[in-house]
Structure 1
Amino acid sequence: MLYQLTRPFSYLTIKGMGGKKFYDIVIPFTLMTITVSSILYPEFNIKALIGENSFIAKTISFTSGLPGFFIAALAAIATFKREGIDEPISSNGESPYIFVKGVRDNGNEYMSKEIITRRVFLCMLFSFLTAQSFILIIGCNIYTSIFEVTSHVFTSTISSCIFTFMFYQIVVTTFFGLYYLGDRIHH
């Protein structure tokens, strides 16, 4: 059951796609570092980052509308009729792949290496974006309900870094998906 519930995050496990880790980790981490540093420096004001009317408060209101868009994109991609969308992706002569859990007739589980098609890649990408948006919104609401910003500066700073990283991961991955849908899929 845990495997099924965490499957929307399988996008992060795609192997063999050049530059994907750069999009998934390096760019969001760099943007998070720049954002958090610029808000907290030179005057350490955690309320400007996570308090009322802060960067995160304004960002969460924007982010709360994204899951609907991502679900609509996922539905469109899943039913998209276009020649070549169900062909494997080729990236620098290598085909990206994932490992998928299966169950044999005898009940034994196994992992198989599956080559990714364009449709599968885009469905995984928008499934990840939907799940990440939900977690970001729910996590932020739970955090702000439980903790008071001024009494937990360390926790607030760490939580702000996690939120900001996840937010930029959504932004960068969305742009990557838009690039793929708007340009790459037509070549």
Structure 2
Amino acid sequence: MTSLLLWVLGRPGMIAGTSGLLDRLIIVFSVLPGFYIAALAAIATFNRPDIDTVMPSPSPTLNVDIGGHENKIELTRRRFLAYLFAFLCWESFALLILCVFAGLTAQGLFSVLGSLASYGKWVFIFGLLCLFWQLVFATGLGLYYLGDRLNRPEY
């Protein structure tokens, strides 16, 4: 949906130009890892016994290979949040690097792609915005879980 809005309502230079989408996303993606690392540190040191209990049913599980045997592990709240914020930190780093290199190589890629450059640009924008919205919604999930679900008593 966001890609469609940019396609219909966008201006020339809105993607890789000065103050374009990539420049603005670089600013966002360069700030986020610090917040995710701080959340990860808080989760790791959070001193509350019920954070280490298995999440309520249906609890999410991981398949982990231990000693050549696959084991299904039910997640605790601490492990779930640690995985979530570690993933978000990694994703924000990856998106930062992607935006920086896309901005630096855009002109060269356009010349290599030739007539396909317009399609390639919109495929890139669609993929980038899908990852951006994934980051936004997963951050919302993490904040909701930290702010509400973690502090809600079990009944």
> Fold-level match, TM-score > 0.5?
yes
Shift of 1:42: 5.5
Q: Does 2:17 align with 1:58?
A: no
Are 1:181 and 2:140 counterparts? Answer: no
RMSD: 1.8
Q: Give deviations 1:50-95, integer Å, cap 9, x for gaps.
A: 43322332122122110111011111101111120000111xx322
Structure 1 unaligned segments of length 5 or more: list them: 1-33, 104-108
User: How far 1:137 sits from its partner (Å)?
Assistant: 0.5
How far off is 1:46 after superposition?
Answer: 6.2
Structure 2: which 5+ runs fail to align? Answer: 112-116
Counterpart in the other structure of 2:91: 132
Residue 110 of structure 1: CA displacement? 2.5
Q: Does 1:112 align with 2:71?
A: yes
The answer on 1:76 being equivalent to 2:42 is yes
Shift, 1:117, TM fit: 0.3
| Greater relative CO, 1 or 2 (CA 8 Å, sep 6+) | 1
Partner of 2:105: 146
Q: Which has the higher helix share?
A: 2
Q: Percent identity?
A: 36
- Cα distance change, pair 121–46 in 1 and its aligned pair in 2 (3 A): farther
Letter in 1 for 2:122: T
Code of the residue aligned with 1:113 in structure 2: it is: K
1:3 alignment partner in structure 2: none
Q: Which structure has the larger Rg?
A: 2
